[in-house]
A and B are shown apart, each in its own frame.
Chain A
Amino acid sequence: AQRVTQPEKLLSVFKGAPVELKCNYSYSGSPELFWYVQYSRQRLQLLLRHISRESIKGFTADLNKGETSFHLKKPFAQEEDSAMYYCALSEGGSQGNLIFGKGTKLSVKP
């Protein structure tokens, strides 16, 4: 069964420290993976997707098919990065619905 696992409910770091939010997935086909972010009192929004291979707000994520992982990384965390982060997998074919992990709350302390 398709599944997304985010092992950490809460990750707390100091400003300027590196951040890695973990995401592992289970999927039988060729996955498409996303990171969505929800800042306080805002709606869920796309942060990045693996096919774009972009860096957004200093965040990057690399798809590792061997380890079935899509960890989100940022070398120097900022206070404004504090938010809820969700890893998501798009189901196959043309359906497009997302399977989300439970989310990791990132808290960046000054």
Chain B
Amino acid sequence: DTGVSQDPRHKITKRGQNVTFRCDPISEHNRLYWYRQTLGQGPEFLTYFQNEAQLEKSRLLSDRFSAERPKGSFSTLEIQRTEQGDSAMYLCASSLAPGRDEQFFGPGTRLTVL
């Protein structure tokens, strides 16, 4: 499978715990995006990378959220001190070129915070 992959697919955690999600983009794609999707809503943009550079992070929901893409390949999204309101689907997408190129989405990681 050469598409975008995400791990884990499901994560159940207790409030206050830290969680980390991984995204592996399509190999030649330079752009990587993170979105969050809650029930009944469309995906909401969080942050994006151009290679290893994080070019936009003001949309991250709070300072508990952080993302990295250390070698310009895979990316991780970490949520510290999880809250019940963090329960959502976290989606990763990648694209070949900067700007308005087609984004290819991963299957998502569903987070449930108890």
List the A residue with the shortest CB-CB distance to B47.
A97
Interface string of B91-114 (1 = CB under 8 A from A): 100010011111111111000000
Residue among B104, B105, B106 with the most chain A CB within 10 A? B105
Docked CA distance A32–B102 (Å): 11
Question: Interface size of B by Cβ–Cβ distance < 8 Å?
Answer: 27
Q: A97-B33, A102-B41 are in contact. Are A46 and B103 (CB under 8 A)?
A: yes
Q: Can you list 14 contacts pairing A with B, beta carbon distance less than 8 Å?
A: A43-B4, A43-B106, A44-B91, A45-B105, A46-B102, A46-B103, A86-B43, A95-B48, A95-B99, A96-B95, A98-B103, A101-B42, A102-B40, A102-B42
Q: A98-B43, A102-B41 are in contact. List 13 more A-B contacts (CB 8 A).
A: A9-B40, A43-B105, A43-B107, A44-B105, A45-B105, A86-B43, A93-B99, A94-B98, A95-B56, A97-B45, A97-B56, A101-B42, A103-B42
